[in-house]
Every structure is written in C-alpha cells, then in structure tokens.
Chains A and B, each alone.
Chain A
C-alpha cells in the first residue's frame, strides 16, 4: 500500500515539476504581483527534475543521427547524448554561477543567493523547454540527413535560438524583480497583471548595474556553454570517426563551427 502511495507521490512530483515549468513559460510565475517578495515563487528541485527530463528528451532527438548512420546504428551515442545534454547545462551553470553571485553582490543588487538560484532555474527551464520543443524538428532532420556539418549547424542554431529566448526571459524577469518591491505599496497596472513571460524591453530599469552584470554574465554563460559543449563532445557523432564517449582535448568550439560551415560550402 505504501509503495503504491510512494509511486503515486513520485508521479505527482514529476507532474508538478512540469506544471511549474508550464506556468513559468506562460508568465504566471513572473507577474509583478507574484514577484513582490523579491523572488520567483518556484520550487527549485521540482523544476530541476522537469529540466533534466527535457534535456534527456532533447538528447534523444539529437542522438537520432547516430541511429541512422551509414555504418550502422550506434545506440551508445544516443545514450551519451541523453546523459551529456543535462550535463552541458548544469556544468556550465556550476562554472559560471559563483562569479555571477560575487559580482551581483559587488554591484549592490538586492537579489539574495536563493533568488538568484530560483531565477536561473526558471531561465534554464525556459531554455530547455524551447529546446525540447524543437526536438521533433531536429529528430526529423537527423533521421534523413547524412551531412554531418549540416546537423552540427542545425543543432547550434537550435541551441542559439532557445538561448536567445531564455536571455529575453531572464532580463525581463530581472526587471520585474527589481521594480516589484518598489511598487508594493502602489496599485498594480491592470495591463501588467497578466503579462506574458516576455514583453518588449523598455528603458525603465532602476538597477542598471545589475542588468549590465546579467548581460555580461549571459555572454559568459554562452561562451562557457559553447566550450563546455566542445569539451563534452561528441554529441552528434561524426560518422567517419569511431564512437568514443569523449574526444581528446584539442581546438575549440568556434573553430569547429567555422570548420563545419567551411565543410558545408566546399
């Protein structure tokens, strides 16, 4: 009986993680009235589970290319992809989070460590949800494309697009977090009560330094993430090279993307 209840509880836990993520995407968790406490009302472990599962799902879509390789399917590559995509995001976060927190404190931000973690979890959730939603497109092209450079560039484009949307969300939420406590005593504009996850950026931003810091951090996150992707490679798996869990450390991500572009056009 208790095993059944534990199982039901776990299922409910997974479901609520996705429900939270859905509400973040819809903008329900980032309404000015809900941000008046100065932090996002989300449960980090619950959302994290949903994020990991979505990363695994995208890894599966990405790994489809290895299943249709000319030399025969390589299920180990699919497995590697499913493990590496969540690792890519969380290792990048691990590398960049300490510097963000320190600089955040230095510029005098009102964000506490807990609210920074919540904000970044929500941002990662948006990033990964958009990424996973493009999974079917990636899986479709992976199944019918033999060109390795094309798949590399398509995946880079998909990661870039989802990252771009996530950074829009981060900056927008940051703006609302900064204005939230100040408008606590004033009536909330009805048009702002149910805003989407993102709204076109405005110049009204009292905490300019924090915003600049997060912008710089986003660039850093992108750079570290790109190189982390390079260190953790292969994700897609070059069909001309035998399978390996990791490749030797050489070159860098940007050189590789440039190489893929050159190879596609030659």
Chain B
C-alpha cells in the first residue's frame, strides 16, 4: 500500500514538474524513471487486454505492458545522441542536464496521462469495439496524452527558453527527431493491441519493415493505383 502511495506521490510530482507554485515538488531522476515504467506498463497492459472477454490474453497484456515503456525509452535513447550534439553545437551544452530532465519529466508525465486514460480504453473495449476502431481509438488516446504532456514540457522549458531563446528551436528539432524515430519504433514493436484472430506474438511476423515506406506505398497506391510491390 505504501508503495502504491509512494508511486502516486511521485506521479503527482511529475505532473507538477516546472509548476510556478512555490510548494511545487521536484521529481528526482529515479522517480521519473519509476513513473515512466510503472504507468507506461499500466496503460500497455490495458491496451493489450483487447478481446472477448477483455483481458482474456494475459500474455498479450504482458507483452504490451513491456512494449509501451520500451517504445518511449528506446525512441528517447536513439534520438538523444543527435540532440546532445545539436545542443553542444548551438552553445547550450551547459543546460543539457536540465534539458534532459525536462524531456524525461515530459515522457513520465505522458505515461501518467495515458494511465489516467486507461479506464476509458478498458470501458471502450468492454463495450465491444471492433479491432480496427480499437487501433484508431488507442491512437487517439496517445495523441491526447501527447498534446496534454506538452503542458509539462512547456512549463519545464519555460526557464530554459527565457534564459536562451535558442532552446525553442532546439525543442522543435527534438520533437521532429523524436516523432520520426518514435513512429518507426512503434511500428517495429507492433502489435500493441493484437488481433484476437491471430496467435499472440511479441513481434509481428514480417514486422521488420519501415513504417514510412509502407505509408508512402499506401498513399502512392491510392493516388496512382496499386503498385506491384504494394500489392504483393
């Protein structure tokens, strides 16, 4: 019970990160990481509970619970070296620990927001939504959480931008970089929900492909008709 309380306190601290309130607590690195893992896994487990009855595939739930924090952490780790070099290059190296703290806090906050949306996802699953709309619905939940997490990011970054406006441009660059890697990471780690008609798998068979190429082929197929590669 005390562990749950402690986690909720840490989550609260993450959500208030950068708040101008005097009594606003400051989350430690360990807190942020713990929140990222636990709350990310919580939403992942709910995400993987799709089926009839909901939660009938515990293995898929365990896979999804692993994948959500993994996707966020791996996208972050892959993009970070380039962001570090850019910060150094534009003379913002001394602020980098604060920059990373702001980004990690935002990621942790994103998982808390996602976890808060988990009951809605569970309810929608329980009400008998089809597989494809369920994918779209989860996309909507991620989009909602990402937009809401911008509040933490903006608060955490306010001081940095005031000290040096170049941080604003670097932040935009980071978002582009992170989304570019994150989209592919999400594609690679699919399925997150898992089609109940197919066997439960950690990785989709033939999933070792590129999300952008698939999208280009789909769009191009719609525009000029199916190509031999896309059709095959």
**A positions within 8 Å CB-CB of B:** 22, 25-27, 68, 126, 129-130, 132-137, 140-141, 144-147, 150, 165, 169, 194-199, 264-266
Q: By the criterion CB–CB under 8 Å, are A27 and B184 in contact?
A: no
Decide if B79 is an interface residue (CB 8 Å cutoff): yes
Does B210 count as interface, using CB distance less than 8 angstroms? yes
Q: Which residue of B lies closest to A263 (CB)?
A: B229
B81 touches A136 (CB 8 A): yes
Tell me which of B81, B188, B212, B216 contacts A135 (CB under 8 A): B81
Contact B85 A141 (CB under 8 A): no
* Chain A positions within 8 Å of B208 at CB level: 68, 144, 146
- Are B89 and A198 in contact (CB-based, < 8 A)? yes
* Given A137-B78, A137-B79, A265-B220, A196:B209 Cβ within 8 A: no
Report how far A26 CA is from B89 CA in the complex, Å.
6
Residues facing A in B44-94 (CB within 8 A) are 77-79, 81-82, 84-86, 88-93
Those of B206-226 within 8 Å (CB) of chain A: 208-210, 212-213, 216, 220
> CB distance A150 to B181 under 8 Å?
no
B82–A140 touching, CB < 8 Å: no
- Find out whether the CB atom of B220 lies under 8 angstroms from the CB atom of A266: yes
Q: How far is the CA of A137 from the CA of B75 in the complex (A)?
A: 9
Which residues of chain B are near A169, meaning CB under 8 Å? 89
Q: A133-B81, A136-B81, A146-B210 are in contact. Are A196 and B181 (CB under 8 A)?
A: no
CA distance A169 to B89 in the complex (A): 9
Docked complex Cα distance between A126 and B103 (Å) = 25
CB distance A144 to B90 under 8 Å?
A: no
A60: min CB distance to chain B, Å: 14
Determine the chain A residues whose CB is within 8 A of the CB of B85 once the complex forms: 25, 129-130, 132-134
Q: Please classify how large the interface on chain B is, using the bins under 10, 10 to 19, 20 to 34, 35 or more.
A: 20 to 34
Q: Is there contact, CB below 8 Å, between A197 and B78?
A: no
Complex CA–CA separation, A99 to B79 (angstroms) = 38
Query: Smallest CB-CB separation from B212: which chain A residue?
Result: A150
Q: Are A137 and B181 within 8 A (Cβ)? A: yes
Task: Give chain B residues whose Cβ lies under 8 Å from the Cβ of A141.
Answer: 184, 210
When chains A and B are docked, how far (Å) is the Cα of A66 from the Cα of B92?
A: 36
Task: Check A144/B82 contact, CB under 8 A, given A196-B91, A198-B89.
Answer: no
In the complex, 27 of the A-B residue pairs with CB atoms within 8 angstroms, ordered by the A residue number, are A22-B88, A25-B93, A26-B91, A68-B208, A133-B84, A133-B86, A134-B82, A136-B77, A136-B78, A136-B82, A140-B78, A140-B181, A140-B185, A144-B209, A145-B213, A146-B208, A146-B213, A150-B212, A169-B89, A194-B91, A195-B91, A196-B92, A197-B90, A264-B213, A264-B216, A265-B216, A266-B227
Contact A197:B220 (CB < 8 A) given known A134-B82, A140-B181: no
Docked CA distance A253–B78 (Å): 29
Q: Mark B83-117, 1 if CB is under 8 A from A, else 0.
A: 01110111111000000000000000000000000
CA distance A140 to B210 in the complex (A): 11
Which residues of chain B are within 8 angstroms of A196 by Cβ–Cβ distance?
A: 89-92, 166
Bound: A227/B86 CA distance, A = 27
A-chain residues with CB within 8 Å of residue B78 when the two chains form the complex: 136-137, 140
**Nearest Cβ on chain B to A193's Cβ, whole angstroms:** 12
Across the A-B interface, the 7 shortest Cβ-Cβ residue pairs? A196-B91, A133-B85, A145-B210, A147-B213, A133-B82, A133-B81, A25-B88
The answer, among A22, A134, A137, A150, for a CB contact under 8 Å with B210, is A150
How long is the Cα–Cα vector from A199 to B227 in the complex, in angstroms?
47
Given A137-B79, A150-B210, A264-B213, A130:B89 Cβ within 8 A: yes
Residues of B within 8 A of A195 (CB): 91
Instruction: Decide if B220 touches A26 in the complex (CB within 8 Å).
Output: no
Given contacts A196-B166, A265-B216, 18 further A-B contacts (CB under 8 A): A25-B93, A26-B93, A129-B89, A130-B82, A130-B85, A130-B86, A130-B89, A133-B81, A136-B77, A140-B78, A141-B184, A194-B91, A195-B91, A196-B91, A198-B91, A264-B213, A266-B220, A266-B227
Please measure, in the bound complex, the distance between the C-alpha atom of A130 and the C-alpha atom of B81, giving whole angstroms.
9
Q: Are A140 and B184 in contact (CB under 8 A)?
A: yes
- In the bound complex, do residue B209 and residue A146 qualify as a contact, i.e. CB atoms below 8 Å apart? yes
Q: How far is the CB of B88 from chain A (nearest CB, A)?
A: 5
Q: Which of B79, B82, B216 has the most CB of A within 10 A?
A: B82
Report the Cα distance A25→B185, complex, angstroms: 30
Cβ distance A32 to chain B, nearest Cβ, rounded Å: 14
User: In the bound complex, what is the Cα–Cα distance between A258 and B90 (angstroms)?
Assistant: 32
Nearest CB in chain B: distance from A133 CB, A? 3
- B178-232 contacts to A, CB under 8 A, are 180-181, 184-185, 188, 208-210, 212-213, 216, 220, 227
